[in-house]
Structure 1
Amino acid sequence: MMATLALRPIAPEPALPSCPVGPEFDWLLASVQTNRFLPHPPPDSIFVGDGDYRAIGSEFLGHFVRLGRLSPTERVFDIGCGIGRMAVPLTQYLDPERGSYDGVDPVMDGILWCAQTITPAYPRFRFQRLDIAHPLYNPQGSLPGTEVQFGFANGSFDFITMVSVATHLPPDELTVYVNEASRLLAPGGRLFLTAFALDGQSTGQERLKFKRWQDGPGWYAIEEAPLAAAGIDAAFLLETTQNAGLAVSSLSRGHWRGISAAHYQDLLIAIKPERGPERSL
């Protein structure tokens, strides 16, 4: 059961599309963890994130389908795809002829491994590097985070993931990413975004102790590397999402707070309306 942030919704909560799951899907999730024939990078190449590569991939495939209502025939865009942690399990779920996956990331090593290992076996899985500047992951990047544009036409995707991306962005860059996600989503499409969404409700058991970054909506947990674990005001995240033309379906609390929850980071799911609201200027 998801624990939901105690915030007044700023937009009507739309219904998510139906996506029934059952024992067959449970079997699929288990097989993702045990199938030794699935692509798996060398242990010393998993440069982003902690934990078991396959177990985390299986966990998020479950979240995509059960919480985000991802269907096998949809077009997926994975912002911050890393070294394929989300892509590998999706190869077992997306329809090989009607579903598709595109992933982007600023780190070349991960993109090369994915393009050389996953794409030859799954040609509708495509990967590209964008030289986005980031002080931790790509300090010599040529493209400022506030100028990011993804090279796809409006409405190109049905499901966009930003897993552990907002947790490494300052507020102004996060706003750009959410606006791009809205542009790229087709009507009815969903944004699946994880974050540390600070809402002023402390359990006293949080694994991360955030401090506010100056006077803005951003927070940091590691002073010497603020973007290693970046937080954001929940109200700012909700407002940014709405201003981008998306309707928030849910913003649920994660177990990083020391509470019982289905996921570690907080999880925002937002929908591109069939007829989007006008954006705030």
Structure 2
Amino acid sequence: MNVQVALKIPARATPPLSAGEEVRLAWLMQAIGRNRFLPAPPPESVFVGDGDYRAIGAEFLGHFVRLGELKPTERVLDIGCGIGRMAVPLTQYLEGEGAAYEGVDPVAEGIAWCTRTITPVYPNFRFCRVDVAHPLYNPQGQLAGEEVVLPFPDAGFDFAMMVSVATHLPLAEIGAYAREVARVLAPGGRLFLTAFLVAPGDPARETARPRFLPGEAPGTWIGDPQAPLAAIGFDIGLVEDALEAAGLVIRQVELGHWRGTDSAHYQDVIVAAKPGSAP
């Protein structure tokens, strides 16, 4: 079965950048990757994600702009900001009086590094800890994942991101975050979310990484039975349904190369929007 059959909408709903915009974006991404003066934590402090810290951040800046239509003047919320891997390249992109960034994460060490290193130089970049429980990243957290409440007012952001967050959460918690995202996004605001969307045939692919096994909950797939939330996937359509149940509209689904097929990104990408038009 062709995995595209299961998608709710055609892939590539976002219009491509103009030639000039693409040249400027590619130059900025390369400049960020080469800029040794941009902050970077010690490698042993990077508690999520493998690979080159600056290069991966620069790569995702390209995805935010090309797929999520992120603009330099927008207000950005980074859920699961970790130790600033997405924030650092955004310091070179977000500009203008209205541009702002808020990062939240349950891991205190990451928030402390970002607050100490990034905010003094870029005061429109702020970070706060949300003490939500997670068996791998914050096992002593005081707030259950299904009860998460973000410390921000309604309609305060134009763009929200959840990069490598839904790949470590059960579906009910993804739905809880989606409801909060729908609340804090302004009309027309977008959510950029990455996930493992498992289509028929994907678990049997020899080239798929991770190699998924059926999880306990219907429609779930896990990479490691000893640590189910280390890498969790969902039957294609389930995450999209959770976002729609929260009041968001699916705009685009782009499949990643974790399954061994060609793609510009590793995890699958969903872009969803809050109904309405930006003011």
TM-score higher than 0.5: yes
**Displacement, 1:37?**
1.1
Task: State the shift of 1:97 in Å.
Answer: 2.5
What does 1:68-147 align with in structure 2 at a 5 Å threshold? 68-147=68-147
Q: Which residue of 1 aligns with 2:198?
A: 198
8 Å CA contact retained: 2:3, 2:199: no
Q: How does 1:1-281 map to 2 (within 5 A)?
A: 5-9=4-8, 16=14, 20=18, 21-202=21-202, 203-274=205-276
Give the conservation status (yes or no) of the 8 Å contact 2:12–2:253: no
In the TM superposition, residue 213 of structure 1 has moved relative to its aligned partner by 1.8
User: Could you tell me how far 1:46 is from its partner in structure 2?
Assistant: 1.0
SS at match of 1:264: coil
**Do 1:188 and 1:274's aligned partners in 2 also have CA atoms closer than 8 Å?**
yes
**Gap change, CA 1:19 and 1:261, over 3 Å in 2:** closer
Q: 1:204 Cα deviation (Å)?
A: 3.8
| More off after superposition, 239-248 vs 158-167 | 239-248
Give secondary structure in 2 for the equivalent of 1:242. Answer: helix
- Aligned-residue Cα RMSD (Å) equals 2.0
Contact 1:160 1:191 in 2 (8 A): yes
Deviation of 1:58 after TM superposition, in Å, equals 0.4
How far apart are 1:62 and its partner, in Å? 0.4
Cα distance, 1:90–1:60 mapped onto 2, change above 3 Å: same
- Report how far residue 94 of structure 1 moved: 0.2
Counterpart secondary structure, 1:159: strand
* Partner-residue secondary structure (3-state), 1:22: helix
Question: Which stretch has the larger CA shift, 73-82 or 44-53?
Answer: 44-53
Question: Does 132-141 or 200-209 show the bigger shift?
Answer: 200-209
Cα distance, 1:147 vs structure 2: 0.6
Matching residue's letter, 1:7: A
1:124 maps to amino acid: N
Distance 2:123 2:15 in 1: 27
SS of 2:243's equivalent? helix
**Structure 2 CA distance for aligned equivalents of residues 146 and 4 of structure 1:** 30
Query: What are the ranges of 5 or more consecutive residues in structure 2 without an aligned counterpart?
Result: none
Deviation at 1:218, TM superposition (A): 2.2
Letter of the 1:256 partner, please give it: W
Contact 1:80 1:104 in 2 (8 A): yes
Q: Deviations over 1:47-87 (max 9, x none)?
A: 11100000000000000001111000000000000000000
| Count of matched residue pairs | 272
Q: Equivalent residue of 1:6, what SS?
A: helix
Give, in angstroms, the shift of residue 4 of structure 1: 7.2
- Deviation of 1:15 after TM superposition, in Å, equals 6.3
Percentage of matched positions with identical amino acids: 55
Q: How big is each residue's C-alpha offset from its partner over 1:236-272, in whole Å with a ceiling of 9 and x where there is no partner?
A: 1121111111111111111000011010001101111
CA distance in 2, matches of 1:66, 1:253: 15
Q: Which runs of 4+ in 1 moved over 3 A?
A: 12-20
- Cα 1:225/1:64, change in 2 over 3 Å: same
CA–CA distance in structure 2, aligned partners of residues 81 and 196 of structure 1 = 19
Gaps of 5+ in 1: 276-281
Which deviates more from structure 2 when the two are superposed, residues 231-240 or residues 12-21?
12-21
Letter in 1 for 2:238: F
Query: Relative to structure 2, which stretch is displaced further, 166-175 or 215-224?
Result: 215-224
